[in-house]
């Protein structure tokens, strides 16, 4: 990285930003060109790695140091304290911080890093017990998507022995937590409730399946040790279970909710206010990186796999990372299926921070008790607008259009409302998500808090 830092220094010194065209000049030079950015070792940190390796940060006059973090809590805490200037975050983290679930802080996002990318894996033993409840397709393979109804008898049989059924997820406000809960509840299993106002943040109240936090890279080892019997995590840690022969991914999040929002790039509101130009230059670089990852029908994915396999990024075997990044997904060993949209970084306007994304996460926080009291619909709208900053994204995108880097067709119509994320399929239980009526949506579930219910 040293040679690029030197080059970028010369660029700044001479004032020769490659972005200094009509659109970018309106942004102005970055107030803080030296940046430290955090990430977790997952394939969906790819826009950060690509922005560095392809020189997009350098093009914007930014000297970026990318730092892997131990877990999501450490990452968030370091952004809040200013040790990190920004980070690859779970989409629910800026929301959770803003509403005060866990650490309270004003954290915002103006960039959605990707769609999809997660899976749910169970141990070999659990899979063997589930198989008799899963119908087969014409080729004699399990028919997908697999419902958690196939897991229910396994959980009930174990409960009869007096042993709880345990599964892992990566953080209480993670997509993984909510997707795993959604899948379990759709199959008739209660994943448990939180009661923060009573001091219980375990999330296991009334649970049929007990969920606990495990950092993503540790998921396979924790499964192998039989500490948990399944987990929901991002790649490459589902494919790693297949590679090691210790577990079977039963469903991807694309099958739970096609083109669901996954990670975001987060910064504190105070940092964004202090460094508006720096923030916009960062966004320009990240948008270009996301475009590079998806352009020409994923033509750059093999190169991206090689980048991500390096130990300073994800550090998993290229074969494992490629299983999902190149448009396939392996369930049982040898059961490889085409999932071209398993990882989406740019198409379908993936990078735009739609308010509907925020509202879905908030609805699940309320459903499972992390938001202890009922809130009016307007509250959900206000939090979404406060945290998911489409206005900042639009400035960066318009500058890329103005200087000819990307065409206007690459982005949503900025004169339209742009409230609900387009190109999304139906959720696995068939319950329609209406982000403009969050309370009605919450009340439509059989399992979960609704109305004025509290614990």
In this predicted structure, the answer to whether residue 454 has a pLDDT above a threshold of 70 is yes
pLDDT band at 3 (very low <50, low <70, confident <90, very high): very low
What is each CA distance from 353 to 46, 134, 234, 414, in whole angstroms? 18, 37, 20, 13
Distance CA 33, CA 62 (A): 5
Residue 451: left if φ>0, alpha if ψ -120 to 50, beta else—which one?
A: left
Per DSSP bridges, beta strands 118-123 and 247-252 are: antiparallel
Q: What are phi and psi of 331, to 5 degrees?
A: -90, -100
425 prior amide bond cis, ω within 30: no
In this predicted structure, the answer to whether residue 23 has a pLDDT above a threshold of 50 is no
Q: Are 161 and 282 in contact (CB under 8 A)?
A: no
What is each CA distance from 99 to 84, 112, 201, 383, in whole angstroms? 21, 20, 15, 8
Which structural domains are found in the chain, ordered by start?
2-116+261-326+343-410 (3.40.190.10), 118-259 (3.40.190.10)
| Percent of the chain residues topping a pLDDT of 90 | 92
Q: What is the DSSP string of 211-254?
A: EEE--GGGHHHHHHTTS-SEEEEETTHHHHHHHHTSEEEEEEHH
Distance CA 184, CA 208 (A): 9
Per residue, the 3-state secondary structure of 294-306, as one string, reads HHHHHCCHHHHHH
pLDDT at 139: 86
Q: Tokens in use for 157?
A: 């049989």
> Each residue of 235-251: pLDDT tens digit?
999 999 999 999 999 99
pLDDT at 266: 98
Q: Are 105 and 268 in contact (CB under 8 A)?
A: yes
Question: Each residue of 372-386: b (16+ CB within 10 Å) or e?
Answer: bebbeeebbbebbeb
Q: Are 211 and 177 in contact (CB under 8 A)?
A: yes
Q: Tokens in use for 164?
A: 């709880």
pLDDT at 10: 39
What's the average model confidence in pLDDT over 399-417?
Answer: 97
| Nearest Cα residue to 452 out of 366, 340, 347 | 366
pLDDT at 83: 98
What is each CA distance from 341 to 147, 336, 374, in whole angstroms? 20, 15, 35
Beta-carbon contacts of residue 346 (< 8 Å; ≥ 6 apart): 287, 290, 291, 293, 294, 295, 410
In this predicted structure, the answer to whether residue 66 has a pLDDT above a threshold of 80 is yes
What is each CA distance from 278 to 194, 226, 267, 455, in whole angstroms? 38, 46, 12, 44
Q: What is the DSSP string of 142-187?
A: BPSSPPGGGTHHHHHHHHHTT--EEEEES-TTSHHHHHHHHHHHHT
What's the average model confidence in pLDDT over 24-47?
Answer: 92
In this predicted structure, the answer to whether residue 8 has a pLDDT above a threshold of 80 is no
Distance CA 272, CA 275 (A): 5
Give the chain's mean pLDDT: 94
Distance CA 422, CA 357 (A): 11
pLDDT band at 102 (very low <50, low <70, confident <90, very high): confident
What is each CA distance from 131 to 58, 153, 248, in whole angstroms? 51, 11, 11
């Amino acid at each position: 990285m040293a040679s690029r830092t030197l080059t970028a220094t010369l660029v700044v010194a001479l004032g020769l930003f490659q972005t200094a065209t009509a659109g970018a000049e309106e942004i102005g030079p970055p107030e803080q060109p030296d940046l430290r950015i955090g990430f977790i070792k997952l394939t969906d940190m790819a826009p950060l790695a690509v922005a560095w390796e392809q020189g997009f940060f350098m093009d914007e006059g930014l000297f970026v140091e990318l730092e892997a973090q131990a877990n999501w809590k450490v990452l968030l805490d370091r952004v809040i304290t200013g040790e990190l200037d920004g980070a690859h975050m779970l989409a629910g983290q800026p929301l959770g911080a803003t509403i005060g679930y866990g650490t309270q802080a004003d954290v915002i996002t103006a960039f959605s890093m990707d769609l999809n990318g997660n899976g749910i894996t169970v141990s070999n033993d659990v899979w063997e017990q589930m198989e008799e409840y899963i119908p087969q397709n014409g080729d004699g393979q399990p028919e997908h998507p697999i419902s958690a109804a196939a897991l229910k008898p396994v959980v009930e049989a174990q409960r009869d022995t007096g042993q709880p059924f345990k599964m892992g997820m990566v953080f209480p406000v993670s997509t993984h937590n909510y997707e795993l809960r959604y899948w379990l509840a759709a199959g008739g299993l209660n994943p448990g409730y939180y009661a923060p106002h009573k001091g219980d943040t375990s999330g296991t109240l009334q649970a049929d399946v007990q969920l606990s936090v495990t950092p993503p890279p540790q998921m396979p080892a924790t499964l192998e040790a039989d500490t948990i019997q399944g987990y929901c995590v991002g790649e490459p840690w589902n494919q790693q279970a297949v590679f090691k022969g210790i577990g079977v991914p039963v469903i991807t999040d694309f099958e739970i909710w096609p083109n669901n929002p996954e990670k975001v790039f987060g910064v504190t509101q105070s940092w964004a206010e202090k460094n508006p130009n720096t923030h916009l230059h960062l966004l320009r670089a990240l948008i270009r990186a996301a475009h590079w990852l998806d352009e020409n029908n994923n033509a750059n994915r093999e190169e991206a796999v090689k980048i991500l396999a390096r130990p300073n990024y994800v550090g998993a075997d290229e074969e494992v990372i490629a299983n999902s990044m190149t448009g396939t997904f392996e369930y049982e060993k040898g059961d490889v299926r085409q999932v071209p949209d398993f990882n989406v970084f740019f198409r379908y306007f993936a990078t735009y921070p739609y308010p509907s994304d925020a509202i879905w996460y908030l609805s699940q926080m309320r459903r499972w008790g992390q938001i202890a009291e009922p809130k009016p619909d307007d509250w959900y709208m206000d939090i979404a607008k406060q945290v998911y900053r489409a206005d900042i994204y639009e400035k960066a995108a318009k500058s890329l259009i103005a200087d000819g880097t990307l065409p206007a067709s690459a982005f949503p119509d900025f004169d339209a409302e742009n409230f609900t994320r387009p190109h999304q399929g139906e959720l696995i239980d068939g319950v329609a998500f209406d982000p403009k009526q969050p309370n009605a949506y919450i009340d439509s579930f059989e399992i979960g808090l609704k109305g004025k219910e509290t614990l």
